[in-house]
Amino acid sequence: MIVVRPASLPRDAEAIGTLDTAFTTDAVYDVEAGEDGIRLTRRTLEAPLTKRFSLDDLASPARPYDHAWAAWDGERCVGFAATSYEPWNRRLTLWHLYVAGAHRRRGIARQLLRSAEAHGRAHGALNIWLETSSLNVPGVGAYRALGFALTGADLTLYDGTDAQGETALFFSRPLV
């Protein structure tokens, strides 16, 4: 049985840090931003690509999120979500949403998201917002299945980083 509870950081950091945040994809999104909107075109790759997202902020007091939840299968952490709330625009930002590979497609992300959304609603959030990479085709599919819609893109956000050449995709969904 999976149990979702608030994460206690940094105490839970070691267990959460064991999560495999990688995804493998055989496609990426080419992003075209024009006067009439944003278009994602799925392009098949010649060889599969694997990317891993970092959880290096778990023990940092300067982490950008202020609330987090972990999903547990017994003593093993199998999922993690983290958010912050911005009162000025009443937005809940989803910084992390990861589920261990062997536990994906079992509703754990939805359980974590429910906890995050309840927190957001309790604080008056109107929507939940997230950013991901144009390489994260599996993640985009999961976010869409969870009710998120594409709301923006930034062609330059990752310039000068290890993700140079990728495009930031922004998704949101209402909480009201």
Low pLDDT (below 70) residues in the chain:
none
Q: What is the pLDDT of residue 7?
A: 97
Host H or E run for residue 117: helix 108-122
Please name each of the domains of the chain with its CATH number. 2-174 (3.40.630.30)
Q: What percent of the chain lies above the pLDDT cut of 70?
A: 100
pLDDT (tens digit, 9 = 90+) per residue, 52-67?
A: 999 999 989 899 999 9
Host H or E run for residue 50: strand 37-52
Joined together, the tokens standing for residue 154 give 């930034």
pLDDT (tens digit, 9 = 90+) per residue, 18-50?
A: 999 999 999 999 999 888 889 999 999 999 999
Joined together, the tokens standing for residue 44 give 């098949």
Distances (CA, A) of 76 to 16, 96, 99, 102, 112: 9, 18, 12, 12, 15
Q: What is the pLDDT of residue 176?
A: 82
Q: What is the pLDDT of residue 95?
A: 98
